Amino acid sequence: MSSKEKKSVTIFTESQLSSRAFKDEAYEFYKELRKSQPLYPLSLGALGKGWLISRYDDAIHLLKNEKLKKNYENVFTAKEKRPALLKNEETLTKHMLNSDPPDHNRLRTLVQKAFTHRMILQLEDKIQHIADSLLDKVQPNKFMNLVDDYAFPLPIIVISEMLGIPLEDRQKFRVWSQAIIDFSDAPERLQENDHLLGEFVEYLESLVRKKRREPAGDLISALIQAESEGTQLSTEELYSMIMLLIVAGHETTVNLITNMTYALMCHHDQLEKLRQQPDLMNSAIEEALRFHSPVELTTIRWTAEPFILHGQEIKRKDVIIISLASANRDEKIFPNADIFDIERKNNRHIAFGHGNHFCLGAQLARLEAKIAISTLLRRCPNIQLKGEKKQMKWKGNFLMRALEELPISF
C-alpha cells in the first residue's frame, strides 16, 4: 500500500464498531479487511491508538503472543497510568480476564475445578429441568421472545445456582452486565454506567457479607475462603471474580442459544437436517459458534514490546483488538465460510478464544446450548420466526454479537 493510500484510510472509532449499523454490515467489512487491510487502525479515545485484527492466522498468533498483555499495569509505568474512566473500575477489573501469568494462573486455578468435565456433566439434569420449566410457561401461548423467555433465564439460573446467588436478583444482573460490557466513552453513558456499577459493587458487598456469615457449598463461598486465607485472593480480586463469573457465565450462552436458533430458522434446510439427524447437534453447535460468534471482538490487549505485523510497527502501549467473528469467517481456513453448514468438517473456530484466556466455561456453554436447542426442537417442532428476517436487530455492542430479541411462534 502506498503512503497516499495509507493516508486515505478511514480510521474507525469505538462508537462506530459498537453501532447497530456496523453490526449489520460487519461481515462484509471484515471480508474486505481480510483481503486488503488485515491490520486496521482504530481510534479508541482515552485508550489511545488501536489495531483491529481480522485474519485467522494473525488471531491465533496474537492470542498467544507474550508481547501482548491483558493487565495494563504490566505495560504502563506509574507516571503513564491512565486515570480510571469509572469510579468503580478498580474494584471490578482485578479478575483473570484482565490478568497475565503468573496472576492469571493463580486466579484461574481458584475456579477451574468448578468447570471440570465431571462437574459440568453433573449439571445436565438440572439444566434439562430448567429448559423444560421455561418452555412449560410459554408453550400454551404458542409464542415467545426467545431472548427474554428462554435464552437469558436458562444460563443465568444455572450460574446463579453454581455461585449461590438468589434467583430473584437475575434481572439486575442483566442490567449490570450490559453496563460492564459497554465500552462507550461518551460522557452521558459513562455517568450512567458508573452509577450502575456502583449499584453492582454495593450488591456484591452485601452478598459477600451474607456469605461470610453463612457459608455454603457454592462457588462464592469457596472464593471467600480463598480470600480469607490471605495469599490466594485479595478483596478486589474477590469482587472482580464474582462479577466476571456472573457476566461471563451467561452473556456468551445467551448469544449462543439465540444466534444458533436464528441461524437455523434462516437456513431451513439445515434446520430440517438437524431435526432428521439429531446426532448432528454437537456439530451444529460448533458451526453456530463459528457462523455468528457470540463474542464478536476480544477485550483489549496492550502492547508491552513493539513488533512488526504486515510491515507495520505496532508500538508499545498500542491496543490490539481481535475480531473473533472475522477470524471465524476467514476463507483461507473455512471453505465456503459464509455458508451455514451444520456438517462442516475440521471446524477450527476460535469463538471461545485461544491460548491462556480460552473460555473457562466453554464446556458449560456447549452443554447448555445442546440441551436448550434439543429441547426446543423436540417440544416445539413447528418453530418459526415471527416476522421478517430484516426486522431482527443486532444490539449495538462492542464486544458481543447479540440480537435485541428473537420472536418465534410454534
Task: Please classify residue 55 by burial: count the beta carbons closer than 10 Å to its beta carbon, then call 0-12 exposed, 13-18 middle and 19+ buried.
Answer: buried
Cα distances from 174 to residues 57, 94, 263, 285, 298, in angstroms, run: 34, 21, 24, 24, 20
Residue with cell 503468573: 102
Q: What is the DSSP letter of 394?
A: B
Phi, psi of 199, rounded to the nearest 5 degrees = -60, -40
Helices (H), 41-102: 56-63, 89-92
Residue 145, classed as helix, strand or coil, is strand
- pTM metric for this prediction: 0.92
Instruction: Answer for the pair 362, 249: CB distance below 8 angstroms, yes or no.
Output: no
**Number of helices and strands (H, E) in the chain?**
19, 11
Please tell me the distance from the alpha carbon of residue 207 to that of residue 211, in angstroms, as a whole number.
Answer: 6
Angle at 258 between CA 182 and CA 264, to 5 degrees: 140
Task: Return d(Cα 286, Cα 393) in angstroms, integer.
Answer: 23
C-alpha cell belonging to residue 72: 495494563
Position 232, amino acid: Q
Could you identify the residue written with the cell 457476566? 247
Choose among 256, 310, 236: nearest CA to 73.
236
> How confident is the prediction along the chain (410 residues), in pLDDT tens digits per residue?
333 334 344 677 777 888 888 999 999 999 999 999 999 999 888 788 999 999 999 999 999 999 999 998 999 988 887 655 566 677 778 899 999 999 999 999 989 888 999 899 999 999 999 999 999 999 999 999 999 999 999 999 999 999 999 888 887 888 888 888 776 666 777 788 888 888 988 999 999 999 999 999 999 998 988 776 666 788 888 999 999 998 888 889 999 999 999 999 999 999 999 999 999 999 999 999 999 999 999 999 999 999 999 999 999 999 999 999 999 999 999 999 999 999 999 999 999 999 999 999 999 999 999 999 999 999 999 999 998 888 899 998 889 999 999 999 99
CA dihedral 65, 67, 68, 74 (to 10 degrees): 140
Q: What is the distance of C-alpha 3 from the center of its chain?
A: 37
Distance of alpha carbon 250 from alpha carbon 260, whole angstroms: 15
280-298: b (≥16 Cβ within 10 Å) or e: bbebbbbbbbbbbbbbbbb
Inter-residue contact 297 to 22 (CB < 8 Å) = no
Query: DSSP letter at 230?
Result: S
Q: Is the Cα torsion angle 9, 13, 18, 21 positive or negative in sign?
A: negative
Where in the chain are the domains? 10-409
How many degrees, rounded to 5, is the angle at CA 256 between CA 251 and CA 258? 95
Residue type, 179: A
Looking at residue 184, what is its pLDDT?
63
Q: What stretch of H or E contains 41? A: strand 39-43
Q: What is the pLDDT of residue 7?
A: 38
Q: How far apart are CA 211 and CA 59, in angstroms?
A: 40
Question: Mind spelling out the 3-state secondary structure of 148-166?
Answer: HHHHCHHHHHHHHHHHCCC
Q: What is the pLDDT of residue 186?
A: 66
Cα 209 to Cα 51, 87, 204, 213, 343: the distances in Å are 42, 22, 8, 6, 50
Structure confidence at residue 228 (pLDDT): 66
CA 71 to the chain's CA centroid: 18
- Domain boundaries 10-409, corresponding CATH code: 1.10.630.10
Say how far residue 373 (Cα) sits from the centre of its chain: 19
Is the separation of the CB atoms in 70 and 99 below 8 Å?
yes
Cβ(357)–Cβ(239) below 8 Å: no
